[in-house]
Structure 1
Amino acid sequence: MGLLRPLRLYPPISSSPASAIPLGVFSPNPPPISRSTVGSLSAFPSSSFGHRSFILGRRELSLGTVVKMAAQPPGPVQKSEDEWRAVLSPEQFRILRMKGTEYPGTGEYDKFFEEGVYNCAGCGTPLYRSTTKFNSGCGWPAFYEGLPGAINLNPDPDGRRTEITCAACGGHLGHVFKGEGFPTPTNERHCVNSISLKFLPASSSPSQ
């Protein structure tokens, strides 16, 4: 006679009295768990960390951690991906819409200090005045502040940096860094891709 194996404390496989086995009774051949039983297992509620898992007996099948980010309100300029591809160059699309980065020291406005206004290359919204631009030596155009309401700040998913985007169209501009010690009024450095910008000289601005 073989050794009796203890019955595992799973929920009853069926509600039928014939197949229900009282707890504490030993069975030499416990019935297998059917696919219908596995499919009927429900998810436990999400925890405060967004973690959701399914429990099968005493084994936890983790489905990973869900990172919840606050959704940014859409700006007034909204286009489909195909519409953006039609109006942007491939490199503009890569940076503005796919959040890419140009190589340091290669941008048109890295060492450019003419008087005027820097607009969004995607939608034309004014973003920075030339009077807020400074030479940081980082290899990208640097500004110590944007025009009021023109820039959105969004924490990167990894939590290490803060992304800056055009408030009107959501185009990726670069990142903002604080507390680096530059002698500027805000002690901020808006590190912006040149290709995300379009400079408008002061001489072409409408007279006040």
Structure 2
Amino acid sequence: MTGFDLTPPDDGQRRRLIAGLDGEERRVLLQHGTEAPFCGAFLDNKQDGVYCCRLCGLPLFRSTAKFDSGTGWPSFFAPLDAAHVGRIRDASHGMIRTEIVCARCGSHLGHVFPDGPPPTFERHCLNSVSLSFVARGQPLPDPLGRGGAEAAPAD
């Protein structure tokens, strides 16, 4: 069970968070876009820490679950907590996929595929622009002002 507040941002909080996004972040997070492969800021990040939702700050993936999928996007075999990542059937672009979104704010993160490594055999393929990164031992973001100044969770 997650120790994080999964209550969605209220309308005022959401407007404030969206106002802080640039055009590419808006296109991907809010309009379900995809960034170009092999160009994301976190593709080659090897630091120890936690990847959080760029919009609301919810911790999503640990660096220890990251792997090089060769696809051009940061890939993870498991979320930090399954309750933090929502799954939605996506039938766009002439195929059926599973979209993944932030469970708290609904922002588009990417897609999950059944071709990852053990132990889950899943590949959570994410857009770097959908994420922020917190190095191990640093405080987690608190853009909703809920007092969550805890440090990035250890493995």
Shared fold, TM over 0.5: yes
Judged with a 3 Å threshold, the aligned counterparts in structure 2 of structure 1 residues 203 and 87 are, in CA distance, closer, same or farther, namely: same
**Who is 2:78 aligned against?**
145
Asked if 1:123 is matched to 2:56, the reply is yes
Deviations 1:104-156 (A, max 9, x none): 00000111121000010000010001111011010000001112210000001
**Who is 2:35 aligned against?**
102
Judged with a 3 Å threshold, the aligned counterparts in structure 2 of structure 1 residues 183 and 82 are, in CA distance, closer, same or farther, namely: closer
Choose from 103, 109, 116 the match for 1:173: 109
Identity, in percent, stands at 44
**Who is 1:77 aligned against?**
9
Choose from 147, 162, 167 the match for 2:98: 162
Q: Is the 8 A contact 1:101 1:193 kept in 2?
A: yes
Letter in 2 for 1:152: G
Structure 1 Cα separation of the partners of residues 96 and 152 of structure 2: 43
| Larger Cα-atom Rg | 1
**Who is 2:136 aligned against?**
202
Q: Is the 8 A contact 1:84 1:93 kept in 2?
A: no
Structure 2 Cα separation of the partners of residues 167 and 207 of structure 1: 18
Q: Which runs of 5+ in 2 are unaligned?
A: 1-5, 140-150
Structure 2 Cα separation of the partners of residues 204 and 82 of structure 1: 27
Matched position secondary structure for 1:155: strand
Structure 2 Cα separation of the partners of residues 166 and 107 of structure 1: 19
Deviations 1:159-193 (A, max 9, x none): 61000000000000000001x2x432100000000
Structure 2 Cα separation of the partners of residues 207 and 110 of structure 1: 20
Q: Moved runs in structure 1, 4+ residues, more than 6 A?
A: none
Structure 2 Cα separation of the partners of residues 164 and 77 of structure 1: 18
Q: Comparing both chains, which one has the higher relative contact order based on Cα–Cα distances under 8 Å and sequence gaps of 6 or more?
A: 2
Asked if 1:186 is matched to 2:140, the reply is no
Structure 2 Cα separation of the partners of residues 91 and 207 of structure 1: 26
Instruction: Name the TM-score, length of structure 2 as normaliser.
Output: 0.78
CA RMSD in angstroms comes to: 2.2
Letter in 2 for 1:114: Q
Matched position secondary structure for 1:164: strand
How far residue 86 of structure 1 moved from its aligned partner, in angstroms, is: 1.0
Q: Which runs of 5+ in 1 are unaligned?
A: 1-73
